[in-house]
Amino acid sequence: MSRALIIVDVQNDFCEGGALAVDGGAAVASAITEYLDAHQQNFDHIVATQDWHIEPGNHFSDEPDMVDTWPPHCRARTKGAELHQDLDPEYIQAYFRKGQYTAAYSGFEGILAPEDDVPTGDLKAGALEPEAIDEDAIGLDDWLQSHDVEEVVVVGLATDYCVKATAIDAVQAGYTTTVVAGLTAGIAQDLSDAYEEMEDAGVEVERD
């Protein structure tokens, strides 16, 4: 049995100073780096997901309700879509990009980024060209299965959206799933509902 760590969306736009900042996002980036330095040997595989929006339709809004619609963020190949500088990518084996042309909260909606095209970007928002989606692209579930993963640990941003969606999808896909609450940060001040929803779905939540 293999064990994998899934680092969800620890990107500049979700950390302080970003377009859709989560309070404590930068601290989570640093905490995950410290965790990796201390515990990377406990995982057979470590992967990361990225919001990677090109034209995500109604996901973006000039008047967002901050529930289903959001201000523009994590545009593909922009600085905002890059991993936060405090997250050390040394141990990350693969990156999965999601939300190119639709809203996508779960990392299981992501597709494998080519090894020679891993997260960097210097284009300004609005300077994007359409990217073709390869119908044969490898999704996160396929990748985990091909590496004999049976257990996953999920960390990252934001607890009550993409972390929650990724963890619940992991359970539904058959993985033994744990969320380390101390290595996440959420949009809501009170995350008890998010924790309970995950636990009800079969996720083990390691709370502080």
Clarify whether 15 is annotated catalytic: no
Structure tokens at 110: 């992501």
Structure tokens at 101: 């042309």
CB 135 within 8 A of CB 171: no
The one-character DSSP state at 72 is: -
Q: Using alpha carbons, select from 115, 101, 12, 9 the residue that is nearest to residue 59.
A: 101
Q: Which of 51, 74, 141, 162 is catalytic?
A: 162
Clarify whether 124 is annotated catalytic: no
Structure tokens at 141: 């579930």
- The CA distance from 41 to 20, in Å, is 33
User: What type of residue sits at position 8?
Assistant: V
Clarify whether 9 is annotated catalytic: yes
CB 63 within 8 A of CB 23: no
Residue with tokens 């692209």: 137
Q: Using alpha carbons, select from 150, 148, 154, 182 the residue that is nearest to residue 166.
A: 154
Q: Which of 13, 51, 98, 169 is catalytic?
A: 98
Q: Which of 9, 13, 51, 160 is catalytic?
A: 9
Give catalytic residue positions: 9, 98, 162
